[in-house]
Structure 1
Amino acid sequence: MTDQAQQLRNQLVDTLTANGSVRTAPWKQAAEAIPRHGFLRGGFFRRVDGAGPTAWAPVMEGEDDWLEACYRDESLVTQIAGTIVPADIRGQIMRQPTSSSTLPSLVLRMLEDLHVEPGMKVLEIGTGTGYSTGLLTRRLGEQNVTSIEYDEDVASRARTALARLGLHPTLISGDGLLGYADGALYDRIIATCGVHTVPVAWIEQTRPGGMILTTVGGWLGSSELARLTVHDDGTASGPLLSGQVGFMLARPHTPPPLGLLPDLGAGKERETLIGAEVLSDWTARFIVQFAAPHAQRLTMERDGHTEDVLIDVESGSWAALYQDDGRWIVRQDGPGTLWDTVEEMLGRWHAAGRPVAEDLTVHLTPRGQTLRW
C-alpha cells in the first residue's frame, strides 16, 4: 500500500499545484510528506443519493476504493450526528454530518493564504482528523503549532494519527471559540470551522499585525473566507477572499431550534422591490446575514401561494414574502421591521454596483462585526 499511497499522493499534489491551490515550494513539500490516508484509517462516510433524505454509508480501510478516495480532492465525512463514526454503522444512516476531512485543495489554499513564515506561532481552531495540523507541523515545527478541538473523541483520533507520523504539536480538547490563552500571543490563527461571529478571544490572543483566517457564515447558508489583520487598538479588519468557502459552523454557533412559530397571518403588508429571489444569490444572501444576523429562513404554503419567511430568533421579528400578480409583497411584524433593515442594506449594495465578495471587508470592533465595501 505504501508505494500506491505515495503515487496517489504525488498525483494529488501535482493536481493541486496545477490548479493553483498549492503555490509555494514549502507547502508543496509539506503536502508531499503528509499522508492524508493516515488520518482516515477509521474510515469515512460516502453519500448515498436517492429520492428520500440524504443517506450515508461507511467505507472502511482496506475496502475497494478507500485509498483512492483518500487522495481525491473531495471532503470526506468522518462523523455523523455528533458521535457516530464509520465503524459504528452497518448499512446506511440518515443523520446530519458533524465532522469531516476537508477537501485537500481548500486545506492547502487556506494554508497558503495564511502567509506564515518560519518561526511563527499558529493556533488552529478545529483539529478535525489532524491532516491540516500535520501539514502545519511539518512546515513550522511542532513547537510552533497549537490545535484545539471541541470533540474529545475527534481530538483523540487526531492525536493518534499524528503520533504515528512522529508529530507531536500541542493538542488541546476544548472550546476553540475561546482560543487557548496559555499559548498566546499567536502570529496566526486559522479556523477550520465556520463562525457566526468572530470571537473576541481570537483578536485578544493574536499579536498586533498578526492575522486571523476564518470562514464567516450565517444561518442563511452563505459563507466567505476572511483574512483579518489585528490592529494595535484591539480591532481587526480585512478582506474576503474569493471562492464561496463553506465549513460546518462551530457547534456553539449553529442556529437554535425555531420553536413555536409566530402568528404569520398578523403584521402589515406592503409591496417591495426586493423579493425573496435575492436569497438565491450567494453574495446577496451573505449581505442579508449581516443585516439580519439572527434570522433563519423557512418556506411554507399559505393561502394558496408560497411564502419565504425570515424569523429573527433573538428579537422575534419576522417577515414573509410572496408574489401576487408578478409583484413581491412583504408582510412583517415584531419589535422591528426585519425586511426594512434587509432592504436598506441591499439597497446600498445595489447603489454601489453590487460589489463582489473580494471587494467586501469585515471589520471587528468592541461594538460588533460589520461589513463594508
Structure 2
Amino acid sequence: MSTPADLRAALAHRLTADGTLTEPAWADAVRAVPRELFVGPYFVPVAGSFPTSYRTVRDSDPDWLDGIYSDTTLVTQLDGRTSPDDVPDGTITGIPTSSSTLPSVVLRMWQQLGAQAGQRVLEIGTGTGYSTALGAHRLGDTGLTSIEYDPAIAAAATTALKTAGYAPRLITGDGLRGNRDGGPYDRLIATCSVRYIPLAWLHQVTPGGRILATLSGWSYANALALLDVTGPGEATGRFMSDPASFMIARSHDRPPMPTLDLLRGQERPTRIDPAALDDWTGGWVAQLAAPSAIRTGAGAQQILWDIATGSQARTASDSDGGWTVTQRGPVRLWDKVEQSIQLWQDADEPHQGEFGITVFGGTQRVWLGSEAGPSWNLPI
C-alpha cells in the first residue's frame, strides 16, 4: 500500500510530466504538504444523478487516500452549511459552496501569479487551507495573509495549517474587502470567483503589483484574469488561456431562484446556433452580454432569465433545420447575446486568452483583441 509520502511524490511527478509544474520549488511544496490534513472526509458526485447528489468518502473508505491525491476538486461543503460529517451514510443533493480545488489549477495559478519569497501576498479564500499551505511552503509564512469568509471553514483550516507546521496570517472575514492593515500587497490571488474586481483589492495592491482572479457571473461562466495594477484603483491585464472555475463569492452570487414559469413572448428566427453558448468561451461571451441573466439548458434549447426584470429568452429548433427564439420583458436578452456571439464568431471564435481587461475611471471593461476592439462593461 502506498504511503501519503509516496502519493505526494507521485502527484508531483504527474504534474511535472504534464507541464503543470514548471518550477522545482512548487514541486517541492507538493511533495511536502500533506493534503489529507486539510481535506478529511469529502463529497463525491453520484454518477448519473440529476439533480446531482453526493455521497461522503471517509478516511475509513479504501479509496479515500487515493482520492485525496488525485488531481480532482474535492467538495467539502454543500449549501453553505452541510459538511461530509453531516451525511455519514446515503446521499444528499445540494450546491457546492466550499472545496479543495484540484491541485493542478491551484499550482498553475500560484506560478502565474509570479510571487516571490519576501513579497507580501494576499490570498482570498483560505478554504481547506491546502492552497495556503502550498503558498506558505514556497514563499514563507511571514508575508502571506489569507482570508476566509466562513467561520467554521476558517477554524478547520487554522487547525490543519498549525498541524502541518505552517503559520501564515489568517483572517476570518469578507475577503472582498481585502485587509488594509496587512498591505500594501505585492500580489493578490483569489480562489473564489467574482463578478468584477473589488475596489478594495485595487487599492490594497501596490502599483506594479498583480492580481490573479477568476471573473464569473450569474450564468457561472468563468475566465481567469491576470491584472497589473497601474495606480490606485486602476489596472490592466489579460485573460489566461488555461480554464479555471471557482465557486462565486457569496456576496456576488445570484439571488435565490424562484420557480421559473416560461411565458409567451415575441418569437423570431435566431441568427446564431444556440449551441454556441455551450462552448467554454462562447458561454462566457454570452454572460458578458447579459451579466444578470441565469442560463440553463443546452444545445438548441437554451433559457436565459433575468430575475431582476423578469425578462426571458428561450430557443428551440424549427422545422427547417434552424432555430427560433422567444423573448419577453424589458430586456431583450437574446438580442444582446446574439450580437456578442456574432462579434466573437466574426473574429474566428478566439479563446479567452485573446481577451483583456481595463479598470479605469470607475469602469471595468473587458475587450477583445485590443482596447479599441469590441468591449463589454462588467456589472459593478
- TM normalised by structure 1 equals 0.91
State the distance in 2 between where 1:348 and 1:87 align.
48
The alignment's C-alpha RMSD in Å is: 2.1
Q: Alpha-carbon deviation of 1:343? A: 2.3
Q: Does 1:370 align with 2:369?
A: no
User: Are residues 149 and 265 of structure 1, via their aligned partners in 2, closer, same or farther at CA, if it must alter by over 3 Å?
Assistant: same
State the distance in 2 between where 1:123 and 1:356 align.
29
Q: Alpha-carbon deviation of 1:245? A: 1.3
State the distance in 1 between where 2:56 and 2:326 align.
46
Within the candidate set 265, 268, 271, 2:269 is matched to 271
How many pairs were matched up? 365
Is the contact made by 1:101 and 1:128 (CA closer than 8 Å) also made in structure 2? yes
State the distance in 1 between where 2:294 and 2:81 align.
26
Within the candidate set 341, 355, 362, 2:350 is matched to 355
Q: Alpha-carbon deviation of 1:175? A: 1.0
User: Are residues 337 and 54 of structure 1, via their aligned partners in 2, closer, same or farther at CA, if it must alter by over 3 Å?
Assistant: closer
- Runs (4+) of structure 1 exceeding 6 A deviation are none
- Matching of residues 115-130 of structure 1 within 5 Å: 115-130=114-129
State the distance in 2 between where 1:88 and 1:263 align.
36
Percent identity, aligned pairs only? 43
Q: Which moved more, 1:113-122 or 1:355-364?
A: 355-364
Is the contact made by 2:355 and 2:366 (CA closer than 8 Å) also made in structure 1? no
Is the contact made by 2:73 and 2:100 (CA closer than 8 Å) also made in structure 1? yes
Within the candidate set 328, 334, 337, 1:339 is matched to 334
Is the contact made by 1:272 and 1:329 (CA closer than 8 Å) also made in structure 2? yes
- Matching of residues 1-373 of structure 1 within 5 Å: 4-40=3-39, 42-91=40-89, 92-232=91-231, 234-259=233-258, 261=260, 264-266=263-265, 268-299=266-297, 308-325=302-319, 326-365=321-360, 366-373=362-369
State the distance in 1 between where 2:282 and 2:305 align.
18
- In structure 2, runs of 5+ residues without a counterpart are 370-380
Q: Alpha-carbon deviation of 1:296? A: 0.9
State the distance in 2 between where 1:73 and 1:143 align.
29
State the distance in 2 between where 1:330 and 1:87 align.
46
Q: Alpha-carbon deviation of 1:173? A: 0.7
Letter in 1 for 2:364: G
- In structure 1, runs of 5+ residues without a counterpart are 301-305
For 1:303, the equivalent position in structure 2 comes to none
Q: Alpha-carbon deviation of 1:188? A: 0.8
**How far does the alpha carbon of each residue in 1:42-61 deviate from its partner, in whole angstroms, 9 at most, with x for none?**
31123222455432222222
Is the contact made by 2:199 and 2:233 (CA closer than 8 Å) also made in structure 1? no
User: Are residues 51 and 65 of structure 1, via their aligned partners in 2, closer, same or farther at CA, if it must alter by over 3 Å?
Assistant: closer
SS of equivalent residue, structure 1 residue 31: helix
State the distance in 2 between where 1:367 and 1:282 align.
25
User: Are residues 39 and 340 of structure 1, via their aligned partners in 2, closer, same or farther at CA, if it must alter by over 3 Å?
Assistant: same
User: Are residues 317 and 87 of structure 1, via their aligned partners in 2, closer, same or farther at CA, if it must alter by over 3 Å?
Assistant: closer
SS of equivalent residue, structure 1 residue 213: strand
